[in-house]
Amino acid sequence: MHTILVTGATSGIGRAMAITLQAAGYAVIATGRKTEALASLAAEAPEIETLALDLSDRDAVTRALSGHRIDVLINNAGMMPTPGRFDTMAQDEIDRTFDVNLTNVLFLTRLLVPGMKARGAGHVIFTGSSAAHAPGAGFAAYAASKAGIAAFATALRAELSPNGIRVTELVPGRVETGLYAGVLGAEERDAMYGDGNSLQPQDIADVVLALLKLPARADVTRVDLMPTRPVPPIKLK
């Protein structure tokens, strides 16, 4: 049985992935910073192993994962800074965006890839964003952090494919999650999602399950998943 590590599993896409993959028969380790949300996940799916981890605490992460064999790493944890103009964005918010969306991802991947190489198999999956490939006003820092993920995934694939390791970048458009909960008000979020056309977390989870069911010889390098109908733009203040 393959063991899958899902980061950012306390809500939204990560939670849907963890539940879906465990139900499909995989051993799942779900990580996140919110202990109450992890407890809720464990109550819903007791077979999932949960680990409360801050990925910026490298020593703690290394200790927690040292005894685990990870066959599939899903780098899903991420954050959305407040949408707005880059020249008025606080420097600490820029730094945090890159730490969470890129730096921590590089660290965790570097920690776990050597084990995959030693076994001659593995799969690294990144939750990227359409903002990385078609950035728009108000998302400069976020788009840049996700563009870093896109470039990293491409280079990593070139390095690891000779070792039999697959690398996939997920590129979803707007997904209805709590990503904007801390940066937009309820009225603004209702305007974003009220038409019902946004993707749902389960859509992304279903795609990941389909990817993992492919034979080892097949590597889907990038998946673009967009809402069928147009979604309203986010209005900048």
Q: Edge-to-edge strand order for the sheet containing 3-6?
A: 49-52, 27-32, 3-6, 72-75, 122-127, 165-172, 222-225
Selecting among 26, 142, 180, 193, the annotated active-site residue is 142
142 is catalytic: yes
Distance CA 15, CA 38 (A): 9
SS (H, E, C) the chain: CCEEEECCCCCHHHHHHHHHHHHCCCEEEEEECCHHHHHHHHHHCCCCEEEECCCCCHHHHHHHHCCCCCCEEEECCCCCCCCCCHHHCCHHHHHHHHHHHHHHHHHHHHHHHHHHHHHCCEEEEEECCHHHCCCCCCCHHHHHHHHHHHHHHHHHHHHHHHHCEEEEEEEECCECCCCCCCCCCHHHHHHHHCCCCCECHHHHHHHHHHHHHCCCCCCCCEEEECCCCCCCCCCCC
Catalogue the active-site residues: 142
